[in-house]
Amino acid sequence: MKKILITGGAGFIGSHVVRRFVNQYPDYHIYNLDALTYAGNLENLRDVEDAANYTFVKGDITDAVFLDELFANTDFYGVVHLAAESHVDRSISDPLAFVVTNVIGTVNLLNAARKAWKDDLANRGATNRLFYHVSTDEVYGELHDPNEFFLETTSYDPRSPYSASKASSDHFVRAYHNTYKMPVVISNCSNNYGPNHFPEKLIPLMIHNIMQKKPLPVYGKGENVRDWLYVEDHARAIDTIFHRGKVGETYNIGGHNEWKNLDLVLLLCKIMDDKLGREPGTAESLITYVTDRAGHDLRYAIDATRLKTELGWEPSLQFEEGLEKTVDWYLENQAWLDNVTSGNYKKYYEEMYG
């Protein structure tokens, strides 16, 4: 049985990746390593927590001694690294937390893998191992020309503490490939949306506030553009790249689905009024323009041609369809949302894991 370590598996994207790997690959044993920060929620994985090929490990990637022991005790074939601080607004108020987790945590993980895999790394290529680093399109900076897209070759130009920390971690991953022959692969993905998204991010925050009839805070004039991808499509892309990506390479992942924030919120308002049986315009009247985010990147847009032509991956869902699925999930899982917003989601697992 191949042992695969997935970090950050209790978070939004990580939980979808864990579920996919546990269900699709019964011949793998999946170890989910997560520190259960505010963003980690084991309720996301209730449906797989008893699977024979799944183990949860509570641990912190900032703890190098712990990681070295984990790698010494378990012979991991591969790592899929998602654990990170992920919210731009939090990075603006506390940049150092992002350096510690995203930069130092990633280097700790690379070091643990390097020590455990040293004999394989000595054989240049080490094709029997893989370190997959999950990154973001935000490392490329912002776009102004509507005809421009981020390519794998676009120069890095991170502009927020979050994207600077992710860019730095990407550089370390590539440096370990070059210097120590660490077999790595990196993907840079656009904004994800879907079930289990923590309600500090745009789409789940708006869904939550519409349900509660609370103000919908749109930053600035709502003109910033993001490229949205359904989270299960991202998990499928990660699966594809993990199994068929070329070592040492980078793959961009995106939805080819650009939306101005205000247009997205208006669409969400329409869907939610309809689903909640409210008068058209009810949700829209909650829109409130608030002070813009400092250094707010104008537009992100990914060109994912490489992933399509080389590995055959394409997004499977149209945005309206994905958004409806997402809204349905939140309406059917109000207990999940209540537990997250009240903080109750921590209590049960703190008793189990400390």
109 binds ligand NAD (CB under 6 A): no
Inter-CA distances, 317 with 107, 234, 241, 311, Å: 35, 11, 19, 18
- Closest distance between ligand TYD and the C-beta of residue 75, in Å? 36
Q: Are 265 and 229 in contact (CB under 8 A)?
A: no
In the region spanning residues 53 to 72, those forming contacts with ligand NAD, defined by CB under 6 A, are 60-62
The one of ligand NAD, ligand TYD, none whose footprint includes residue 84, by CB under 5 to 8 A per kind, is ligand NAD
Nearer to ligand TYD, 3 or 296 (CB): 296
Structure tokens given for 97: 């937390």
Select the span of 29-37, 72-80, 279-287, 333-341 touching ligand NAD (CB under 6 A): 29-37
327 binds ligand NAD (CB under 6 A): no
The one of ligand NAD, ligand TYD, none whose footprint includes residue 238, by CB under 5 to 8 A per kind, is none
191 binds ligand NAD (CB under 6 A): yes
Nearer to ligand TYD, 64 or 287 (CB): 287
The one of ligand NAD, ligand TYD, none whose footprint includes residue 170, by CB under 5 to 8 A per kind, is none
345 is catalytic: no
- Closest distance between ligand NAD and the C-beta of residue 10, in Å? 4
Which of 138, 233, 258, 297 is catalytic? The answer is 138
Nearer to ligand TYD, 45 or 264 (CB): 264
Nearer to ligand NAD, 7 or 53 (CB): 7
The one of ligand TYD, ligand NAD, none whose footprint includes residue 34, by CB under 5 to 8 A per kind, is ligand NAD
E-assigned strand segments in the chain: 2-7, 28-34, 54-58, 78-81, 130-136, 184-189, 191-193, 216-219, 225-230, 250-253, 258-260, 287-290
Which of 31, 140, 162, 230 is catalytic? The answer is 162
138 is catalytic: yes
101 binds ligand NAD (CB under 6 A): yes
157 is catalytic: no
14 binds ligand NAD (CB under 6 A): yes
Nearer to ligand TYD, 201 or 234 (CB): 201
In the region spanning residues 215 to 274, those forming contacts with ligand NAD, defined by CB under 6 A, are none
Residues that bind ligand NAD (CB under 6 A): 7-8, 10-14, 34-37, 39-40, 60-62, 82-84, 86, 101, 105, 134, 136, 166, 189, 191-192, 198
Catalytic residues: 137-138, 162
